[in-house]
C-alpha cells in the first residue's frame, strides 16, 4: 500500500454529530514523489464499495471512527467521517481543536496508471486506485525537504520554522492532554521525526524547544524521557 498526504483541510465539521468532511487528495499537480492524482481515479473503488478505514497516522491499530461517504470535485477528493464514541475518537477531535493535526492522507493500491514526460522528468499519472484508508496526520511528509533539488535558503528556513512551531505545539498538547497513552506515544514518534529533520537541515537560530521546560543543551533522549515521565505521571502510572 502507498500513501499520499496533503496539508490539513476540513471542509465542514460538527461537534454535535462528531462528523467532519476532510480533504484527502489534491488533483492535477505533481506531488513530492513525482505523481499526479487525477479526478475519477477513486471512482471504481467507490462504486465497488471497497472498505475504507479512518485511521490516525496510518496506524491500522488506531481506528478513529467510521467513513460515512466519499466524493470529489474538480480539484480534490473528500472523506466524510464520524469520529468514534471511544477514546481515540475523543483524542482526534481534541487534536483537531488544538491544531495538532497537520495533514490528511489516503492509503491506496494502484490499479491503472500511465507515464508522461513533464518538466523534464518522468511523471506517473494515477488513473485508477483502490482507496484503502483515509488518515488524519500529526506529521507532514516523512521528510518535507527530501527530493527538492533547488530551494532558496529563505524557503528552507521558513519550512524549518514551521516544523519547530508544530513540534512545540505537539509537545504542549502531550503535556496538557487527557489523551490515551497510545495516542501520546504515537504523537511522540512524530516529534522524534521532526527533531531529526530539524537537526539535519536547521540553519536558523530559533530554539528547538520553545516552552521553557527544557534546556537547549538537553539531548534528545533526555528530553524524550522527561516528556514520557510527565505523561505517565499525568496518567497515574509509575
Higher-pLDDT residue of 154 and 186 is 186
Residue 6, phi then psi, degrees to nearest 5: -135, 165
Contact 83, 64 (CB under 8 A): yes
Percent of the chain whose predicted confidence (pLDDT) is above 70: 77
Determine the pLDDT at residue 152. Answer: 58
- Considering the domain architecture, whether residues 8 and 126 belong to the same structural domain is answered as yes
C-alpha cell at 75: 480539484
Domain count, the chain: 2
Per-residue pLDDT tens over the stretch 134-152: 999 987 654 444 444 444 5
pLDDT at 218 over 70: no
To the nearest 10 degrees (0 to 180), the angle between helices 181-201 and 220-234 is 160
pTM of the model: 0.76
**pLDDT higher than 70, residue 177:** yes
Quote the strand ranges of the chain, DSSP E: 2-7, 10-14, 19-26, 35-37, 53-56, 59-72, 76-83, 103-118, 121-137
Q: Within this chain, do residues 133 and 19 fall inside the same structural domain, yes or no? A: yes
Query: Do residues 105 and 173 both lie within one domain?
Result: no
Residue 146 counted as domain residue: no
Domain boundary among 109, 137, 165: 137
Residue bearing cell 467521517: 81
At residue 212, the pLDDT reads 43
Percent of the chain with pLDDT over 90: 47
179: domain range?
Answer: 153-234
- pLDDT, tens digit, for every residue of 155-169? 667 777 878 888 888
Average pLDDT on 96-113 reads 93
Amino acid at each position: 500500500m502507498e500513501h499520499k498526504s496533503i496539508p490539513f483541510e476540513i471542509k465542514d465539521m460538527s461537534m454535535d454529530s462528531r462528523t467532519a468532511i476532510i480533504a484527502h487528495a489534491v488533483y492535477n499537480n505533481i506531488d513530492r514523489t513525482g505523481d499526479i492524482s487525477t479526478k475519477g481515479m477513486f471512482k471504481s473503488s467507490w462504486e465497488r464499495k471497497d472498505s475504507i478505514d479512518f485511521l490516525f497516522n496510518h496506524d491500522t491499530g488506531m481506528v478513529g471512527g467510521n467513513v460515512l461517504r466519499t466524493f470529489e470535485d474538480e480539484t480534490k477528493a473528500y472523506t466524510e467521517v464520524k469520529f468514534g464514541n471511544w477514546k481515540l475518537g475523543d483524542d482526534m477531535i481534541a487534536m483537531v481543536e488544538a491544531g495538532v493535526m497537520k495533514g490528511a492522507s489516503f492509503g491506496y493500491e494502484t490499479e491503472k496508471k500511465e507515464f508522461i514526460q513533464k518538466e523534464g522528468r518522468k511523471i506517473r499519472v494515477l488513473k485508477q486506485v483502490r482507496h484503502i484508508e483515509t488518515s488524519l496526520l500529526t506529521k507532514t511528509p516523512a521528510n518535507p525537504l527530501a527530493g527538492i533539488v533547488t530551494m532558496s535558503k529563505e524557503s528552507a528556513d521558513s519550512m524549518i520554522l514551521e516544523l519547530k512551531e508544530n513540534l512545540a505545539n505537539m509537545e504542549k498538547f502531550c503535556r496538557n492532554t487527557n489523551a490515551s497513552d497510545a495516542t501520546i506515544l504515537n504523537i511522540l514518534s512524530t516529534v522524534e521525526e521532526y527533531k531529526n529533520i530539524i537537526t539535519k537541515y536547521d540553519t536558523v537560530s530559533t530554539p528547538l524547544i520553545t516552552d521553557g521546560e527544557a534546556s537547549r543543551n538537553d539531548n534528545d533522549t533526555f528530553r524524550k524521557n522527561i516528556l514520557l515521565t510527565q505523561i505517565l505521571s499525568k496518567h497515574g502510572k509509575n
